Homo-oligomer: A and B are copies of this chain.
Amino acid sequence: MMYNYLLTIQYDGSRYKGWQRQGEEGGNTIQSKIENVLAEMVGKHVGLIGSSRTDAGVHALDQKANFRIAERLAESEVQDYLNRYLPEDISVTDVTLVPRKFHARFHAKSKTYLYRIWNRKYPNPIERKYSMHIKEPLDLAAMRKASQYFIGAHDFTAFSNAKSKKKSMVREIYSIEMSEKEGFIEIRIRGNGFLHNMVRKIVGALIQVGLGEMEAETIPEIIESKDRSRVGLLADACGLFLEKVELDTQFLEGEKAI
């Protein structure tokens, strides 16, 4: 028998080199920190599959991940064990036993990223590690207009630093919403998937539009060009949060052990 556990994870990405394990040792990554605790729990290596490979410095409020083990442990036992031994900037907020076939990456239907901009002249000491500071006032109406050109399925080569030339660069963005409250501009981008650095380059372009350095109408042309040099600003990692991973619920139903 194998048991498949789904984790919901929050983390402060400030001091990590992103989600994905690096090299033999795993490196200072969130995946390897959790895998190390799981290995302690069951006495051997456990592979953890995450929904999103967040970059170095990026935070998560709702990362999803699953792992399969031969032991049948209570969900609360797994959660307590992880939270006892994980560092305080990583937290497991939920553990659920799911059918063996469930896969956190393949069965993620959509992802929502939140980007936070602090848009006042003076710095914000409390939120400085969880937002990007833009001193000059941003033109939100222009940014909203620009954002709409990203909606839909496009080849996002120009808005990524993804290396592979073989894999498809087409991703679909379902929505981009912007709000402003007490000095913070929040940008929420929901899509079926995102290329490496894609959210930060889209936000970078929106900031350039908001500063009057770029016309909103230029966006379709840049997408079309597939030219990475056209977007000069990569928004800071610290302003980015993986806010929500929506799972395909059909794979969460059924027998929990096979």
Contacts and interface: CB of A to CB of B under 8 A. Distances in A.
Contacts of A61: 126
A213 interface: no
A122 B12 contact: no
What is the oligomeric copy number? 2
A79 B121 CA distance: 10
Looking at chain A's contact residues, the main secondary structure is mixed
A93 B124 CA distance: 9
A130 interface: yes
B89 A122 contact: no
Contacts of A79: 122
Given A79-B122, A122-B83, A128 B12 contact: yes
A50 to B, nearest CB: 16
Given A10-B126, A83-B122, 7 more contacts: A10-B125, A59-B125, A90-B125, A91-B122, A92-B122, A93-B120, A126-B130
